[in-house]
Amino acid sequence: MNKLARPFVIMVEKLFPESFVFAIGLSIVVFFACWGLTDSGPMQIIDAWGTGLADLLSFMAQISLTVLCAHALAHTRPVRRFLSALGRLPRKEWQAYSLVVLTAGIGSLFAWAFGLVAGALVARQVAIEMREKGIRVHYPLLVASAYAGFVVWHMGYSGSAPLFVATEGNKMQEAIGGLIPVSETIFAPWNVITAAVTLAAIVVLLPLMHPKDKREELIEINDEAIADYQNEQEKLESELRANATGSDETQTTSAGPTIAQRLDGTRILVLIPGLALLVYLISYFVQNGLALNLDIVNWSFLCLGLLMSRSILEYIKLVANASGSVGQLIVQYPFYAGIMGMMVGTGFITVISDWFTAISTPLTLGFWAFLSAGVLNMFVPSGGGQWAIQGPIFIEAAKNLGVNPSTVVMGVAYGDQWTNMAQPFFAVPLLAVAGIHVRKIMGYTIMVLILTFFTFGGGILIAGAVA
């Protein structure tokens, strides 16, 4: 398997650009595709692009907060100790890769943002612990394992499409003829089995790609990354001690902490908002069950981060240390929003979806929904946004062909998550936490893309036969 993966790894490392360059290149491709395949002229396309630039600002703020809060939480003392214990579990190379896949996969089924960040943090910690044991693991493959686990996210509890059609008052309720409960989508036996088979297959696949040939370079986490992590912790502890004693780097003696320093260092002031958030979250879950969304995930991370910090000052420092991880997110997401704007504003996305529905049969409609969603996800990498665009087309096709609408809902969900393995949009926060370039992991995740074509495609065909 490593020999099969090697050509993809070499090709991607040579050809795959920075993720920002990828976004700009994709924008150019979509511009000319819209110009050539729709009735829109250049200025109409530019207008659609410019209008769309701001469409993901809310999502950009949410995911940036996710990265900040999750990063801060992961660097609190209790979580650092837990991650260290988790990182010490593997005794062999294959166990390291498998642990990271399972952590990211199970986390993503619970909440996609949690799975992404948790996978990156566990990958980094496992790399550090394995290096201390003298066991050589390939760090790019560990990070790829974290992103590979993310491939099942839309089959889980935070899946945008299945949650949308299960929500009272959604825009497609009338077209569908009612709600589609999650028992027919997320918790349908065929979906649960497909998710389990997919994760099991990836757990087997990733360790097989561990470099074995002496001609291949095995890249461990470098000394600089480990030193930066350790120095960051030492600097934080030093600043907290200085605040507690009322000293700073320019003083050799101290008269004791000032009132302001006491307020910065007291635990009470960090517990008050943390406990208030905890009460709110308990109330929310009592009223809504486990109805997760990105806001609730963020408030959960913030709540836990505050409760596990020793003071407001510590939490502020942890967030400041995390701030460097969100720069790429902020600059890239408007360009993906612009791509969505071009495709929606010119009707190009409808052209693609209509072509797939035209060649479908009752058995294969879900499969073609899967493939079309996979193609469109390369240009519109947003689960909720993609369903809003494709959903009405495939729901109407399902009605005309007499197909259970749950099949096309999950078909679009499968396609949306599938081509994330070749699209760096969602990899950006993971890569920022792990501190590695996208081209180092994409060769491995393309192998996951090939594997999951068969598990997802087979699963949705079975759904078409039994639903």
What per-residue confidence (pLDDT) applies to 434?
Answer: 83
Q: Which of 283, 286, 329, 312 is nearest to 113 (CA)?
A: 329
Any domain includes 271: yes
User: Cα dist. 277→189, 281, 297, 298, 318 in Å?
Assistant: 35, 6, 12, 11, 19
Q: Is residue 137 part of a domain?
A: yes
Q: Enumerate residues 6+ apart whose C-beta is below 8 A from 59.
A: 294, 333, 382
Sequence-ordered list of residues with C-beta below 8 angstroms from that of 268, at least 6 positions apart, any chain: none
Domain-embedded: residue 257: no
pTM of the model: 0.80
Does 462 map to a domain? yes
179 belongs to a structural domain: yes
Lowest mean pLDDT among 92-101, 281-290, 344-353, 360-369: 344-353
197 falls within a domain: yes
Lowest mean pLDDT among 32-36, 97-101, 279-283, 426-430: 426-430
CA distances from 239 to 242, 246, 247, 390 (A): 5, 10, 9, 52
Lowest mean per-residue pLDDT among 88-92, 255-259, 282-286, 393-397: 255-259
The domain tally of the chain equals 1
Task: Tally the C-alpha atoms within 13 A of residue 193's C-alpha that lie toward its C-beta.
Answer: 8
Q: Within a domain: residue 249?
A: no
Taking only the tens place, the pLDDT of each residue in 362-374 is 999 999 999 999 9
Q: Whose CA is closest to 304, among 296, 175, 2?
A: 296
Q: Is residue 256 a part of any domain in this protein?
A: no
| CA 91 – CA 7 distance, rounded (Å) | 29
The pLDDT, as a whole number, for residue 244 is 67
Q: Which of 371, 324, 338 is nearest to 352 (CA)?
A: 371
**Which residue range is the domain that position 423 belongs to?**
1-228+262-466
Q: How far is CA 51 from CA 82, 205, 340, 346, in A?
A: 45, 42, 10, 12
Least confident of 237-246, 279-288, 457-466: 237-246
At 159-202, the pLDDT tens digits run: 888 888 887 887 778 878 898 988 999 999 999 999 999 999 99
Q: Which residue has 């600097």 as its token pair?
A: 235
pLDDT of residue 437: 84
At 250, the pLDDT band (50, 70, 90 cuts) reads very low
Maximal CA-CA distance, the chain? 81
